[in-house]
Amino acid sequence: MPAPRVVKLTGEIDVYTARTACRVLDDIAGPAVIDLSGVRLLCAEGLRELANVAARAGAGVVTLRGAPPHVRRVLEIARFGQLFTIEA
């Protein structure tokens, strides 16, 4: 089995930047790791972009890694643990 692709997102992912910031996620359709350690803000638009990845790849196929505590809390509230494996 090939190693999962690793993608790093950084900065503020909000209504104005989500589409551009998350463009790198567009071709993820299988195992991948999305590194969120550099994300300072994640709003609903960013959550939608991540949910699109889960819809293409399948639930539990993609891992979200390194989210700062405030971003991790947003992921928990949105119940993204049902869509992704979430690592500290």
At 11-60, the pLDDT tens digits run 999 999 999 988 999 989 899 999 999 999 999 999 999 999 999 999 99
- The pLDDT-based confidence of 7 (bands split at 50, 70, 90) is very high
Q: Which residues lie closer than 8 Å to 15 by C-beta, 6 or more apart?
A: 43, 44, 45
Number of separate domains in the chain? 1
Name the pTM for this structure: 0.93
Q: Which domain holds residue 17?
A: 5-87
Query: What amino acid occupies position 77?
Result: I
Instruction: Specify whether the CB–CB gap between 15 and 46 falls below 8 A.
Output: no
Per-residue model confidence as pLDDT tens digits over 64-74: 999 999 999 99
CATH code where residue 29 lies: 3.30.750.24
